[in-house]
């Protein structure tokens, strides 16, 4: 379950630095609606760094659009270099059914790859009915969904590590 206030979910700083310093995380960003997705990526990476993930352990990749995210996620998963992937994108509804197709197939593809390869892939592809809502969710503030994506990745990795024993 995701919380509305990203700061309330942040890992404890002392614990986070110790536990996350070995995590290797890649972001995959859709280039379409670039101003929005760049803002998501910026806040996501800032959050990972602030939590203690070293810069050298974070890689960022870009694909033309959200529909292409799953194929790169699969390729990165097969490399076995990353502990988690974070999918970032923005799909804004237009006048056709294309919006639903892109978002649904992106989500399905990401989930398929994640489950098939037992690798966490955080889905933070914004699906909004207008640009104003997308811009609000990718603003230069603490409610940027890139922050939430990073926090979710770190939280899930910690839980999965604990579940391994």
Q: pLDDT-based confidence at 9, cuts 50/70/90?
A: low
CB proximity list for 24: less than 8 A, separation 6 or greater:
57, 58, 81, 82, 83
Does 117 participate in catalysis according to the annotation? no
Choosing from 18, 98, 108, 161, which is the catalytic residue? 98
CATH topology of domain 18-164: Rossmann fold (3.40.50)
Alpha carbon 44 to chain centroid distance?
7
For range 62-81, the mean pLDDT: 98
Report DSSP letters for 35-81, one per residue.
HHHHHHHHHHHHHHHHHT--GGGEEEEEESSGGGHHHHHHHHHHHT-
pLDDT at 54 over 80: yes
For range 54-67, the mean pLDDT: 98
Q: What is the pTM of this model?
A: 0.89
Alpha carbon 150 to chain centroid distance?
6
Q: Where are the domains of the chain?
A: 18-164
């Amino acid at each position: 379950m995701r919380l509305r206030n990203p700061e309330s979910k942040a890992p404890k700083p002392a614990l986070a630095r110790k536990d996350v310093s070995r995590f290797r995380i890649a972001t995959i960003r859709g280039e379409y609606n670039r101003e929005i997705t760049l803002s998501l990526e910026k806040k996501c990476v800032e959050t990972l760094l602030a939590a203690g993930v070293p810069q050298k352990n974070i890689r960022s990749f870009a694909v033309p659009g959200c529909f292409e995210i799953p194929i790169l996620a699969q390729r990165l998963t097969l490399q076995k270099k990353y502990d988690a992937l974070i999918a970032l994108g923005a799909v804004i509804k237009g006048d056709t059914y294309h919006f639903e197709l892109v978002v649904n197939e992106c989500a399905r593809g990401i989930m398929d790859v994640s489950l098939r390869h037992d690798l966490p892939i955080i889905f933070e592809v914004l699906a909004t009915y207008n640009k104003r809502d997308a811009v609000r969710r990718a603003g230069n503030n603490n409610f940027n969904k890139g922050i939430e994506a990073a926090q979710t990745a770190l939280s899930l990795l910690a839980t999965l590590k604990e579940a391994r024993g």
